[in-house]
Chains A and B, each alone.
Chain A
Amino acid sequence: MKKNKFKQNTLPALAMAGPVSLWMILFVTLPMLYIIYISFMSRGIFGDVVYEFSLDSYKTLLDSTYFKVIVKSMKAAFITTLLCILIGYPFAYYIAKQPKEVASKLIMLVMIPFWTNSLMRLNSWLLLFQTSGPVNNFLQNAGFIDSPISFVYTDGLVMIGMITNMLPFAVLPMYSSIEKLSKSLLEASADLGASRSTTFFNITLPLTFPGIFSSIILVFIPSLGIYTVTDMLGGGKVLYIGNIIKNQFGAIRNWPLGAALSVLLIVITGLLIFIYTRFAKIEDMEVV
C-alpha cells in the first residue's frame, strides 16, 4: 500500500516539479544565499573576499555618497514608474477598446522593442540626441536654440531611455486587466445614469487597479536595478545603484559592498512583492 501511494502521488509530483525545483535551487536560491553570505564578509587588500564576518559593507551603504545614490535611484525609478503608468494606461485602454484583430496588431507593436538588441536601441538614442544629432539640428534650424544642448550623458536622457525601455512592461498587464473588464459592468453604470467619465472613475479605474499594481511592480523593480540604460545613456557620469553594483563586482572589486547593495535591492523587491500579494489576494477575488 505504501509503495502504491508513492507511485500514485509522490512520484508524478516529483517528476513534474522536480527538475524545475532543482534548477531554481541551483541557479537562483544558492547564488542568492551566497550573495547574502558574502555581503557580511570583508574585502581583502587585493579585492578578494576575506571570509571574516563584518558589517562594514552595510555601514558603507549609510555613507552619504552611497546613500545619495540610493535615494536618487529610487527617485528615478519612481518617476519612471509614474510616467510609464500615466503614458501606458491610456495606451492600454485604447488597445483594449479596439476590435480583436486591431488589438493584436497593436500589442505586436508593443512587443517589437523586445526583439531588438537593447545595445542597438540605446545607441540609437545617443545618435539621435548627440550634439550634432537630428534632434539638436532640428531645434537649431527651427530657431528654438542658438547652440546645441548636451542631452547625452544626462539624467534627462537616462530617464527617456528608462521610460522607453520599461513602457511595454507597463502596458501589457494593464491591457490584460482592462480587456478582462466585463462590458456589462460599464453598461450597467451608464444605464444607472453615469456619464463616461463617472463610469471610468467609479468602475473602470478601481477594477483595473490590480493591473496597474502589477505594472508598478514590473516597472519599478527593474528600473531600480537597471544598469545598461544608465551606463550607456549616462556614460558612467551619472551614477545609479545598478552602476555601482556593477562596478563593485567589476572594476572596483569590492564584492562584499556589491553584495550588500544587491541585498538592499532584494529587500526592496521583496517588500514590494509582499505588498502586491496582499493586494492581489483581495482584488483578484473581486475582479472575477
Chain B
Amino acid sequence: MSAIVSLINVEKSFGKNKVVKSMNIEVKEGEFLTLLGPSGCGKTTTLRMIAGFEDATSGIIKVQGVRVEDKEPFERDVNTVFQNYALFPHMTVFDNIAYGLKIKKRPKDEIKKRVNEMLDLVQLKGYENRKPDALSGGQKQRVAIARALINNPKVLLLDEPLGALDLKLRKQMQVELKRLQKKLGITFVYVTHDQEEALTMSDRIAVMNEGVIEQLGTPREIYDRPLTKFVAGFIGESNIFDGKVISVNDGIIYVETSAGTMKVKGNGFEAGEDIHVSIRPEHIKVSADSVEGFNLRGKIKDNIYMGTFVKTSVDLKDKTEIKYSRIEKEEEFTEGNFVNIYWNPERAVAIKSKS
C-alpha cells in the first residue's frame, strides 16, 4: 500500500496564529482516513491545504508522489465535498453533477451517460431537473457527493459533510458513505468533530488538537489505547485520574491520586513519575468489600436509567465525580450507599504525563 497523499512538516499560520503545526501524515491508497478533533484544531485547514484552497506556510504536500503546493485547486487530482454542500443554486441537479465534465469539454453523450451513472450511484434518479432549493438536506448531500465523484478523483476530501443533517439521517448517510467508499475504492479523507462518526466509518483516525496530531491509529487502537490524556478524554466517555506512580511490579503500576489508590497495566513507567489513568465507564466495577490494590471509596450519587444500561455517578472522597455504566438487572447500589470502585488493570490505560 503506497501513500497517495503525504504531508511532510506542513505548517499553516494565519497572521501570528499557527493553526497547523508540523503536520506529518501519509494517507494510504484506498483507505478511509478521518481527521478528528474539536473546532479550531486545524483539521479543516489541513484538508483545505490538500485541496489547494489554502497555501501551506511551509512543508511539502504530495498527491500520488507529486508535489502540489504550487498547484491551483483545478490542477489537483482531488475533489472536495463541502460542509454546506456548495451546490450551484442556479443550476439543476443534472448541471451541478455534470459541471466537472462540462469544464473538461467532454462530449454531450458521455456527460449524459456519466451523470446518469452518478444519479444511480447516489440514488437520485428522477431528480435531475430540480434546482438545489427544491431538495432536502440529505438529497443535497448526495448531489454534492456525485458532483465531486464525476471526475473520478484519486482522493475525495470531505469537510464535515454530514454536519448539517439531523441525527437519524446522519447515521444513515454514514453507512451509505462507507459503502460507497468500499465500492468505489477511492481514498477518502474525512474531517469531522463527531467522534462516534469517526469510529464507525474510518479505517484510521488522526486525532488532532491545537494543530498537531495527538494520535494516529485504527478506531479500536484509538478507543482502547489512547496515547494522550486529550485523546482519552475526547474519544468516548472516560474517567481520567491524575496521579503519581508509587511502584511498578510485573507490569502492574500502582498509582496514588487525590481520590485514592488504584492499579493499571502499562510499560515504561517508573516510581515517582506523573501519570494519567483512564478508565471507560463500562469497565468500572463496584463492590461492597475492598479489593486488593484499590482504595477508591465513594458514595453513589444517582442512578440514571438509559434503557439497555444504567449510568451511575459516584462521588469520591476528593469530590471528583466518576461515572460507570452497567447492564440493567445487574446488582444495584442505591443512592447514598458507599461502594468500593475497582477494575481489571488491563482495561485501564496508563498515559504518560506531558511536560
Contact = CB atoms under 8 A, between A and B. Distances in A.
Interface of A: 182, 184-185, 187-195, 198, 202-203, 206-207, 285-288
A193 B80 contact: no
Contact of A286 (B51, B82, B131, B151): B131
B217 interface: no
The 10 closest A-B pairs by CB, nearest first: A184-B86, A192-B100, A188-B86, A190-B73, A286-B89, A193-B103, A193-B74, A194-B103, A191-B80, A190-B74
Interface residues of B, number: 25
User: Secondary structure of the B side of the interface?
Assistant: loop
B89 A188 contact: no
Nearest to A194: B103
Contacts of B51: 187, 191
A206 B90 contact: yes
Given A191-B74, A192-B100, A194-B103, A288 B89 contact: yes
A207 B53 contact: no
Nearest to A287: B89
Nearest to A282: B90
Contacts of A194: 74, 99, 103
B151 A188 contact: no
B164 to A, nearest CB: 13
B79 interface: yes
Contacts of A192: 74, 79, 99-100, 103, 147-148, 151
A185 B147 CA distance: 13
Contacts of A188: 80, 82, 86-88, 147
Nearest to B73: A190
B133 interface: yes
A194 B52 CA distance: 13
Interface in B49-71: 51-53
* Residue among A182, A191, A206, A288 having the largest count of chain B Cβ atoms under 10 Å: A191
* Residue among B89, B131, B151 having the largest count of chain A Cβ atoms under 10 Å: B89
User: Secondary structure of the A side of the interface?
Assistant: helix
B243 to A, nearest CB: 47
Interface in B80-111: 80, 82-84, 86-90, 99-100, 103-104
Interface of B: 51-53, 72-74, 79-80, 82-84, 86-90, 99-100, 103-104, 131, 133, 147-148, 151
A192 B86 CA distance: 12
A207 B100 contact: no
A75 B55 CA distance: 49
22 contacts: A184-B84, A185-B86, A185-B88, A187-B80, A188-B80, A188-B82, A188-B88, A190-B72, A190-B73, A191-B73, A192-B74, A192-B103, A192-B147, A192-B151, A193-B74, A194-B74, A194-B99, A202-B99, A203-B88, A285-B133, A286-B90, A286-B133
A27 B193 CA distance: 59
Given A184-B83, A184-B84, A194-B74, 7 more contacts: A187-B82, A187-B86, A190-B52, A191-B73, A192-B74, A193-B151, A285-B133
Contacts of B99: 189, 192, 194, 202
A195 B72 CA distance: 9
B89 A187 contact: no
A191 B96 CA distance: 13
Nearest to A198: B103
Contacts of B52: 190-191
Nearest to B83: A184
A187 B147 contact: no
A194 B72 CA distance: 10
Contacts of A187: 51, 53, 73, 80, 82, 86
A55 to B, nearest CB: 46
Given A187-B53, A190-B73, A192-B151, A182 B86 contact: yes
Contact of A193 (B86, B88, B89, B104): B104
Contacts of A203: 88
A198 B53 CA distance: 17
Contacts of A287: 89
Contacts of B72: 190, 195
